[in-house]
Amino acid sequence: MQKFYSLAVLALLAAGVACTQKSAEAPAQMEPGHEHEQMQASAPAAGYSVKGTAVFAGKESKAETVKMNADPKCLAQYKDGFKYKPVVVGQKGELSNVFVYVKSGLQGQTFDAPKEPAVVLDQKGCWYHPRVMGIMVGQKLEIRNSDPTMHNVNASPEFNAAMPATVKMMEKTFKSPKVMFKIKCNVHPWMTAYVGVLGSPYFAVTGDNGQYEIKNLPAGKYTLEFWHEKLGTSTQEVTVTDAGATANVKFSAKGTS
């Protein structure tokens, strides 16, 4: 017991000396015992979210019937024919398939593409799923053929590859950034997909609710661009703080506002 008390007293004395020295020589440092908190506070921030909604101040497209007669194996997959709307909006004008990305504000920074997971582009029902997507330079693009027929994935000049019915999966990468790459199928001219290829991970695509979220963006000032295949593009300045940021966009039939 006695030994314990002596050690405790010594420890208290030592702490007192340490405190005195610190307050005299390094007043900015934290009190002993708070080192862990300080380390956490100075760890690099993961970043913040930019969120928002895209809306369209107009009517959605009438459904177009896509004629797949050229390939009976495509045609056979639809009883009533395949219908498609290039502009799809929700009840309040929520606009889906808008590609949103940080166009500028990241100069001088480089980002490694994630090794996993791969971005998936499926060919199913002689249609691309998804129609609009984003990927980083060098990131794996897993292209699937879920159809009992041959497709050809033409993303010239990056790649142009045939995919017979027996080839169910292939992997490709993009070597250079571009917004947007148009992917076409040489076998089925109605098949189109759009891929935004970027050097950074800061991009998103609006869902059926018109909403998007770009995550983990460091605080700073950026220019966002919103792209829609029929409605064009719109840019917006955004300041990201530790509270994140909101950037909504409204597309109109004559452009954006």
3-state secondary structure of 120: strand
Q: Does 131 bind Cu ion (CB under 5 A)?
A: no
191-210 residues in contact with Cu ion (CB under 5 A) are: 191
Interface with Cu ion (CB under 5 A), residue from 131, 151, 184, 228: 151
Per CB under 5 A, does 184 bind Cu ion?
no
Residue 196: partners with Cβ closer than 8 Å, 6 or more residues away: 99, 101, 132, 133, 134, 135, 178, 179, 180, 181, 203, 227
The answer to whether the beta carbons of residues 99 and 196 sit under 8 Å apart is yes
Q: Pick from 187, 198, 214, 245 the residue near Cu ion by CB under 5 A.
A: 187
* Choice between 104 and 160, CB closer to Cu ion: 160
- CB 151, min distance to Cu ion, A: 3
**Which C-beta is closer to Cu ion: that of 103 or that of 151?**
151
Site string (44-83) toward Cu ion, x via CB under 5 A:
----------------------------------------
Supply φ then ψ for residue 16, to 5 degrees: -60, -40
117-135 exposure pattern, b = at least 16 Cβ within 10 A, e = fewer: ebbebbbeebbbebbbbbb
At residue 224, the 3 state secondary structure works out as: strand
- In angstroms, the CA 248 to CA 55 distance is 8
Contact call for residue 121 and Cu ion (CB under 5 A): no
Q: Which amino acid is at 112?
A: D
Q: Which stretch binds Cu ion (CB under 5 A): 44-52, 87-95, 166-174, 180-188?
A: 180-188
Our finding on whether 224 is near Cu ion (CB under 5 A) is no
Interface with Cu ion (CB under 5 A)? 151, 185, 187-188, 191
